[in-house]
A = this chain, B = another copy of it.
């Protein structure tokens, strides 16, 4: 690629093109060549992609910081006179959709996901949007029980659905203001995350606490608070989400990161200090946390003991070709995929598969066989 030109367009903090581009890796899919930045570097977001054939830069979505204490966090993060909007944060699979010759769904890491691409093409009217706004990208979450990455259930979603939570200039990453984005999504019929409200600084905490309480009762993830212009964002999540994530982590203990656990406990502890008025409430939270850690781990050990495969189970549906492409895509990412069922229903192919958790199966069997742990 023409390094000098893309270097200038990326507006990084690197001093030379080499300093930046040595971190990009070259990938080729369907004869198209991409240059992908797998980790944030020199002020350029993780997952930023250069598609030379389309003369396109697709910026990564910025990482959203989190407050651990809502009250002081909101006060410290937003200016006193800022209007803050709170929208639901969904537990799904985060992609950017850009038209680089054709509309593609790019993952956080900058890969093209064939399954998500196929789903968003079905679920959103992309051609009319990109005809009008060719240089924009849609930032969206694929949610529901039938995705190859997450399995969180949402009421009323049997298979999968998309929520567009941002529209940005794909080359600069600059977001539309929240109101414009919501209007534009309405215009094109794109479903969006729930809006809880627009708040003055002094009213944010109360509004978000109410939202969090409601979301917690419904077993949903949390809230993203944004400045009205969409440039500043901070997140806050529910107790039930923290516990769900612990269940997720400890159902495959040797495969999930250890940091995964620690940060969830820290979130819980600060939330308990801020929210839990009495000892009984705190004790309930502790018990639930303990169950979220221990019970899935015990269940998995018992499964391995019984000779079953430990791993993440997913169901996907769609046209046969995009499902084959998905399975190839997963295997190309060094995942061991076991197909549990593969059938057709109403003209669609439905595949249930397991991403085999190799470390968990191996370590668990080793300890069950009497293997020792050396400290």
A residues with CB within 8 A of B? 63, 65-69, 71-77, 234, 250, 253, 258-259, 261-263, 265-266, 268-270, 272-273, 276, 282-283, 285-295, 297-298, 301-302, 305, 367-375
Contacts and interface: CB of A to CB of B under 8 A. Distances in A.
A291 B290 contact: yes
Contacts of A283: 291, 295
Contacts of A276: 298
A63 B374 contact: yes
B297 A293 contact: no
> Quick one: copies of this chain in the complex?
2
Q: Max chain B CB contacts within 10 Å: which of A265, A286, A288, A290?
A: A290
B289 A76 contact: no
A146 B370 CA distance: 37
A273 B290 contact: no
Contacts of A371: 67-68, 73, 76
Contact of A294 (B77, B262, B263, B268): B268
B374 A65 contact: yes
Nearest to A70: B370
Given A68-B373, A258-B259, A272-B294, 14 more contacts: A63-B375, A65-B373, A65-B375, A66-B375, A72-B368, A73-B372, A253-B266, A258-B262, A261-B261, A270-B367, A276-B298, A283-B291, A286-B291, A286-B295
A359 to B, nearest CB: 12
Contacts of A285: 290, 294
A241 to B, nearest CB: 14
